[in-house]
């Protein structure tokens, strides 16, 4: 199943490096009190590469109008 829409390792590394610093500053989830499942949330129109990265579960896209600190994968809610 070949696909042209695949995130390159180079780009993923770039995103990893960038969002690593973002993740470090994220607060713990107010509901489950854990940071373990909190990923960065990204506001605005994402690039196709960022969409692929989000599809892999590294970040959560929040759309154009809402701004959040992050997304808790455990509670499935923005925080
Ligand atoms: Zn939570």
Summarize pLDDT for 32-62 with one digit per residue, the tens.
Answer: 999 999 999 999 999 999 999 999 999 999 9
What's the CA-to-centroid distance between 44 and ligand 1, angstroms?
23
The alpha carbon of 31 and the centre of ligand 1 are apart by a number of angstroms equal to: 5
Residues 6+ apart with CB under 8 A from 75: 29, 31, 32, 37
Residue 68 CA to ligand 1 centre (angstroms): 14
Residue 66: pLDDT band with limits 50, 70, 90: confident
CA of 5 to the centre of ligand 1 (A): 31
User: How far apart are the CA of 70 and the centre of ligand 1, in A?
Assistant: 10
User: For residue 5, what pLDDT is reported?
Assistant: 80
Residue 70 clears pLDDT 90, i.e. is over it: yes
Sign of the alpha-carbon torsion through 23, 24, 25, 26 = positive
């Amino acid at each position: 199943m070949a696909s042209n829409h695949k995130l390159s390792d180079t780009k993923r590394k770039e995103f990893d490096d960038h969002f690593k610093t973002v993740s470090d500053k994220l607060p713990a989830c107010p509901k489950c009190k854990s940071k373990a499942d909190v990923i960065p949330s990204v506001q605005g129109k994402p690039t196709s590469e960022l969409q692929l990265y989000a599809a892999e579960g590294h970040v959560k896209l929040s759309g154009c109008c809402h701004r959040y600190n992050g997304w808790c994968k455990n509670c499935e809610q923005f925080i």
